[in-house]
Amino acid sequence: PHPHAHGAADAAPPPRARLEDEHGSASVYRVRALEKAIAGFAQRETEAVVNPTVGSSFVSIDEAYEFYNIYSWESGFGVRYGSSSMDSHGTKCIQQFVCACEGKPSKDSDSFRRCECKASILLLRSRDDGWRVCEHQVGHNHPLSKMCAQRSSWQSHSSIDKNTRGLIRQLRENNVPHIDDNDAKNPLSDDIQKTEETFARIKAKDPTFGYTGLQLDSNWRVRPLLWTSGQSLQYQYFSDVIIFDTTYRSDKYGTPFGLFVGVDNNFETILLGGVLMINEKTEGYKWVLSQFFQLMGREHPTTILTDRCEAIEEAVLEVLPSTTHRWFKWNVLRRAKDYLGFHYTKTSSFRVGLHKILNDTLTADEFERAWEMLLEEHGLENHPFLKEIYEVRHKWVKAYFSDTFCATLTSTHKSESAKHFLKQHHVPRDCSMELFALQYEKLRSEKQPDYGFQEQRTTMVSLKISGN
């Protein structure tokens, strides 16, 4: 057995945060562990973006390996599985990951780099069946390869996805020296300065990028931070329908991160701008809407889609009086499981029937007849939640949008833009404004080639049709 095996299973670890997605899967923690590392680096708490320190905890061995592998890619070496030990019940309780140069060289082609390197991490199984780092040997007895190399020089690095690689490179490229504690009496003020520097770099590369000045109010709360990208120049061509999505919340500031999203003639999303709110009051939303559409040339959209929010409702009525305001369907229904219980499980006949009439009914009359029949069938005619959402059905049910152009954006895929984009690009909820700005710019630059391809494809199809 491993020398550290004695008492390993009895070690009492600190409680680990275990996040579950809407399907009840704990695999979300795999992203969370990486998010926490990214957030720590963005706040200058760590020297490396990813660093498995003693005490780091993981839900699974796979997650721990992935984390150590990313660390090795950033540092310039490869990794592989090392020795492991079982407890008296035959359950693995110890796992070691080692540098790819561990062990003695042999004639095998896959071991020519081995030079008895001792760099490794040792993980113990915790009482809640997770894993935590109990030992981290960092010294190598061989030269390290180029950090964050474009080409994989180690076999283990081939499994790291390109989004993760790109994010870590970008963070390292934009790294600034760690600030002394005496200079950090107000972290928010420091965060604002770094964000302004980031915006200045972006604007130097893209003169069409614009943003409002960053200021603190009397309570040391940042005022709404609004910015627009070069793609916003396309607004004049695609201003029929706009998404204002504020469903992704910042845990660090306690306020929403929002995106303004448009749709081109290929029904592809266009990132027009971003915002960090200081609060969720009507006055704040009024300011953001008025400033954004002023930057867009004062032209108001035909339709705006938002989440269900009284403050946004009042702001839209005042700032965009001639614009049709609609809500995301998924946002209205997000509380359905809490209120309807077993009636709204994934396989319940009520849920299946509800989404069928929401997606398939073409007219308001068809919807109302189908709604009444569905509620009667399940004995839910007097359910308070269903009564509530029925009273505002004209705001979110597709059957009432026959006279409104929504560019198919009432669907979950399109309307979950902020949540989908920001999660996909590893923007943690506790990230700084600077990291949010960096990832927004990365996302914007990635979307531009997609737009060019779709535009070219549309042009080719148009030429072919006109040629016939």
Sorted by where each begins, the domain ranges of the chain are 8-173, 187-328+396-453
Question: In whole angstroms, how far apart are CA 52 and each of 5, 34, 70, 120, 341?
Answer: 20, 10, 10, 10, 41
Contact (CB, 8 A) for 163 and 426: yes
Q: Which of 26-30, 267-271, 278-282 has the highest mean pLDDT?
A: 278-282
Helix (H) or strand (E) holding 131: strand 131-137
Task: Please give the DSSP secondary-structure letter assigned to residue 55.
Answer: T
Q: Looking at the domain that runs over 187-328+396-453, which CATH code has it been given?
A: 3.30.420
CA distances to 147, 235, 328, 329, 338 from 358, rounded to whole Å, are 52, 30, 12, 9, 20
Residue 40 structure tokens = 């720590």
pTM of the model: 0.54
Let me know: does 301 contact 239? Beta carbons within 8 Å.
yes
Residue 446 confidence (pLDDT): 61
Alpha-carbon radius of gyration of the chain? 26
The DSSP H or E segment spanning 67 is helix 61-75
How confident is the prediction for the chain on average, in pLDDT? Answer: 73
Confidence label for 267 from pLDDT (cuts 50, 70 and 90):
low
pLDDT of res. 354: 94
pLDDT tens across 301-347, in order?
888 988 888 899 999 999 999 999 998 888 788 888 888 888 998 88
- Nearest-angstrom CA–CA distance, 386 and 380: 8
pLDDT of residue 319: 95
User: For the residues 272-283, what does the mean pLDDT come to?
Assistant: 82
Better-predicted residue by pLDDT, 121 or 16: 121
pLDDT band at 19 (very low <50, low <70, confident <90, very high): very low
Which own/partner pairs from 390-396 qualify as long-range (CB within 8 Å, at least 24 positions apart)? Answer: 392/327, 392/332, 393/367, 395/308, 395/325, 395/326, 395/327, 395/332, 396/308, 396/326, 396/327, 396/328, 396/329, 396/331, 396/332
The answer to whether the beta carbons of residues 85 and 2 sit under 8 Å apart is yes
pLDDT for the residue numbered 365:
94
Angle in degrees, 0-180, between the axes of helices 364-378 and 349-360, rounded to the nearest 10: 170
- The pLDDT, as a whole number, for residue 269 is 72
| Bigger pLDDT: 32 vs 454 | 32
What is the sign, positive or negative, of the torsion defined by CA atoms of 251, 252, 255, 257? negative
Grade residue 388 by pLDDT with cuts at 50, 70 and 90.
very high
More reliable by pLDDT, 122 or 21: 122
Q: What is the pLDDT of residues 450-465, one digit of tens each?
A: 444 344 333 333 333 4
Q: For residues 200-212, give the mean pLDDT.
A: 80
Q: What is the pLDDT of residue 359?
A: 86
pLDDT band at 427 (very low <50, low <70, confident <90, very high): low
For the chain, the residue count is 468
Instruction: State the number of CA atoms in the 13 A half-sphere of 250 facing the CB.
Output: 21
The pLDDT of residue 79: 92
Query: What is the tens place of the pLDDT at every residue in 36-82?
Result: 666 666 555 556 778 888 888 888 888 899 889 988 888 888 899 99
